[in-house]
A = this chain, B = another copy of it.
Amino acid sequence: MDEKDMKILNILMREGRKPYTEIAKELRTSESSVRKRVRKMEEEGIIKGYNINIEPSKIGYNVVALTGFDTNPEDFLTVANKLCEFEEVKKVWTSTGDHMIMTEIWAKDGRELSNILFNKIGKIEGIKKVCPAIILEQLK
């Protein structure tokens, strides 16, 4: 990890599909240099993968909620892993603070969110509290 690697990461964070040749041009270096650095960062686990940024509302997911969960301490890991299995649960973090588990959940509408939270997920053994915060807008 040097300055050049960092610059490559910064470019890829915004333009994840940019060709290595163009990145190379921007950094005034060769394509093979960029490509080999990227490969290395992939192998080292610095780059975990490549994603797309989707506008959820445009594919029918009109409600996105950051949802915190509290569990019995003994069920904590089981619950966290179960949450990962739901297709609607896009992200799962374990964290300190108000809630032991934080998630990002996509739903078609409020009715579906409610169904996911309180019927599908809420029934998982060990969950003590569900705290959804609906996202109004993603600014960054």
Contacts and interface: CB of A to CB of B under 8 A. Distances in A.
Interface in A2-42: 6, 9, 12-17
A58 B44 CA distance: 8
A52 B84 CA distance: 20
Task: Count copies of this chain in the complex.
Answer: 2
Interface residues of A, number: 51
A17 B139 CA distance: 25
Interface in A75-99: 80-81, 83-84, 89-99
Contacts of A96: 133-134, 136
Given A49-B53, A51-B51, A139 B58 contact: no
A66 interface: yes
A17 B12 CA distance: 11
Nearest to A87: B10
A52 B53 contact: no
The 6 closest A-B pairs by CB, nearest first: A97-B133, A16-B50, A48-B53, A92-B140, A17-B50, A92-B139
Interface of A: 1, 6, 9, 12-17, 44-55, 58-60, 66, 80-81, 83-84, 89-99, 102, 131-140
Given A66-B97, A95-B135, A102-B135, 5 more contacts: A14-B49, A44-B58, A47-B54, A93-B135, A102-B133
